[in-house]
């Protein structure tokens, strides 16, 4: 009954993460570990941390960003619900009901799915135009092909004209040692 052919097929989800409030690195680390522990999920890769200038709205602190990849047996909608749950769980300053969010979780890609409804658009529409997404993405998956643009992540980064400051801190928020997360 437990043979591989009875297992649900695995999908590969690529997620962009960001935080600009509180202990940004701890929030990202705890959220990554939590996402990897949810049933059907397994953390596959994690980029370095990047300190990045706020995009769009300048009067706020700099972000820490990273990109992770998770293998999952969940389907697209179910996986997105886990991301939303994670944002609620880690994304508010404790005690303030409508307090500022400390965590953004963007579903960048889900295999090569191209999908849009009122809540969810995949690939995430910001992927191709945001340096703070493309730089960490290229660290973990430079050859990932954007399914609607037909271009590799590395090509999208090479063509990018958006020039907000993005500084690689050279260390990941969690260290992966094959299946063991230290
Ligand atoms: P933001 O506050 O900028 O992170 O935007 C969150 C909103 O974007 C939510 O209402 C989501 O339903 C919606 N959304 C649409 N597509 C995506 C996606 N691929 N990843 C994350 N949020 C998405």
Q: Residue 88 maps to which CATH number? A: 3.30.70.560
Residue 1 has pLDDT above 50, yes or no: no
Does residue 121's CB lie within 6 angstroms of at least one atom of ligand 1?
yes
Q: Are 105 and 31 a contacting pair, CB within 8 Å?
A: yes
CA-nearest residue, atom 7 of ligand 1: 119
Q: What is the mean pLDDT of residues 162-174?
A: 93
Q: Are 20 and 60 a contacting pair, CB within 8 Å?
A: yes
Q: What is the mean pLDDT of residues 51-59?
A: 81
The tally of domains found in the chain comes to: 1
Average pLDDT along the chain? 89
Amino acid 101: pLDDT: 62
Q: pLDDT tens-digit profile of 67-93? A: 999 999 999 999 999 999 999 999 765
Does residue 143's CB lie within 6 angstroms of at least one atom of ligand 1?
no
Residue 111 has pLDDT above 50, yes or no: yes
- Is 178 a domain residue? no
Does residue 124's CB lie within 6 angstroms of at least one atom of ligand 1?
yes
Query: In 3D, which of 36, 49, 30, 45 has the Cα closest to residue 89?
Result: 30
pTM: 0.90
In angstroms, rounded to a whole number, what is the distance separating the alpha carbons of residues 57 and 112? 31
**Phi, psi (degrees; rounded to nearest 5) at 68:** -125, 160
Ligand 1 atom nearest residue 83's Cα: 21
In angstroms, rounded to a whole number, what is the distance separating the alpha carbons of residues 107 and 85? 13
> Which is catalytic among the residues 29, 106, 130, 131?
106
In angstroms, rounded to a whole number, what is the distance separating the alpha carbons of residues 100 and 84? 16
| pLDDT bracket for residue 104 (50, 70, 90) | very high
Amino acid 178: pLDDT: 57
Ligand 1 atom nearest residue 101's Cα: 2
Q: What is the mean pLDDT of residues 101-107?
A: 89
- Is 176 a domain residue? no
- Is 153 a domain residue? yes
Q: What is the b/e burial string over 127-151, where b = at least 16 CB atoms within 10 angstroms of the residue's CB?
A: bbebbbbbbbbbbbbeebebeeeee
Amino acid 182: pLDDT: 47
| pLDDT bracket for residue 163 (50, 70, 90) | confident
Q: Are 132 and 149 a contacting pair, CB within 8 Å?
A: no
Amino acid 97: pLDDT: 46
Segments forming the whole domain that contains residue 152: 4-170
- Is 182 a domain residue? no
Catalytic, 117? Answer no
Residue 59 has pLDDT above 80, yes or no: no
Amino acid 99: pLDDT: 44
């Amino acid at each position: 009954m437990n043979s591989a052919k009875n297992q649900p097929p695995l999908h590969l989800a690529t997620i962009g993460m960001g935080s600009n409030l509180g202990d940004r690195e701890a929030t990202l680390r705890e959220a990554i570990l939590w996402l990897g522990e949810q049933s059907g999920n397994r953390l596959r890769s994690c980029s370095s941390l990047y300190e990045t200038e706020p995009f769009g709205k300048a009067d706020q602190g700099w972000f820490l960003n990273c990109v992770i990849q998770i293998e999952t047996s969940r389907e697209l909608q179910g996986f997105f619900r886990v991301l939303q749950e994670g944002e609620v769980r880690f994304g508010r300053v404790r005690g303030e009901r409508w307090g500022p969010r400390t965590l953004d979780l963007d579903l960048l890609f889900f295999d090569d799915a191209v999908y849009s409804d009122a809540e969810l658009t995949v690939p995430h529409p910001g992927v191709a135009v945001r340096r703070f997404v493309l730089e960490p993405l290229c660290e973990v998956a430079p050859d990932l092909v954007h399914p609607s643009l037909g271009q590799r992540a590395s090509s999208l980064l090479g063509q990018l004209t958006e020039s907000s400051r993005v500084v690689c801190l050279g260390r990941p928020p969690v260290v992966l040692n094959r299946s063991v997360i230290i």
